[in-house]
């Protein structure tokens, strides 16, 4: 019986935001749900996040942003993925993101935005329903 490829997820903390409790909780929930999770740590640039995603052959990138830089960071990650021929890597996010901004980010290619307080089961369920191994 062939083993199914595990979904690989990169969880990133972009920008100057120094609060990573939520990102760590999400990373652990995804790991506990059976996914391979790579956590980049604090203060990552979009370039570093995309470079890590490419090196690790991830299927999806999850970004946590509380700093208010979401309207720059998310589109920059999408742009860099396209430039590297990897726009098949899905991107989702969470944090302090106004609903109108979240709608606009989704139009730009972000697949889902989770608000603060979202149960981890909703996030792991979304991954199960929407993300598939790229390789």
- pLDDT tens readout for residues 25-51: 999 999 999 999 999 999 999 999 999
The structure's pTM equals: 0.94
pLDDT at 4: 58
Which position has the higher pLDDT, 33 or 19?
33
Summarised one tens digit per residue, pLDDT across range 66-113 is 999 999 999 999 999 999 999 999 999 999 999 999 999 999 999 999
Torsion of CA 98, 99, 105, 109, to 10 degrees: 140
Q: Check the CA dihedral 123-128-134-135 and report its sign.
A: positive
pLDDT at 3: 44
- Average of per-residue pLDDT across 2-10: 78
pLDDT at 18: 84
CATH of 8-128, one of 3.30.70.920, 3.40.50.280, 3.50.50.60, 3.30.1360.150: 3.40.50.280
- Long-range contacts for 97-102 (Cβ within 8 Å, ≥24 apart)? 97/65, 97/70, 101/70, 101/71
Residue 135 has pLDDT above 90, yes or no: no
Summarised one tens digit per residue, pLDDT across range 49-68 is 999 999 999 999 999 999 99
CA distance 127 to 95: 17
CA distance 132 to 129: 8
Residue 2 has pLDDT above 50, yes or no: no
Q: Say if residues 22 and 39 touch (Cβ distance below 8 Å).
A: no
For the chain, give every domain's residue range: 8-128
Q: Say if residues 40 and 11 touch (Cβ distance below 8 Å).
A: yes
CA distance 99 to 96: 9
């Amino acid at each position: 019986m062939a083993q199914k490829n595990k979904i690989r997820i990169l969880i990133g903390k972009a920008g100057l935001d120094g609060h990573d409790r939520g990102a760590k909780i999400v990373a652990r929930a995804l790991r506990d749900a059976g996914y391979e999770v790579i956590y980049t740590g604090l203060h990552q640039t979009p370039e570093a996040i995309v470079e890590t995603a490419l090196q690790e052959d991830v299927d999806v990138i999850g970004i946590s942003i509380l700093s208010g830089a979401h309207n720059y960071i998310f589109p920059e990650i999408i742009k860099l993925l396209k430039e590297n021929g990897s726009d098949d890597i899905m991107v989702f996010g969470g944090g302090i993101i106004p609903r109108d901004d979240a709608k606009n980010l989704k139009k730009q290619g972000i697949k889902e935005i989770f608000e603060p307080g979202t149960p981890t089961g909703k996030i792991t369920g979304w991954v199960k329903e929407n993300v598939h191994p790229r390789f």
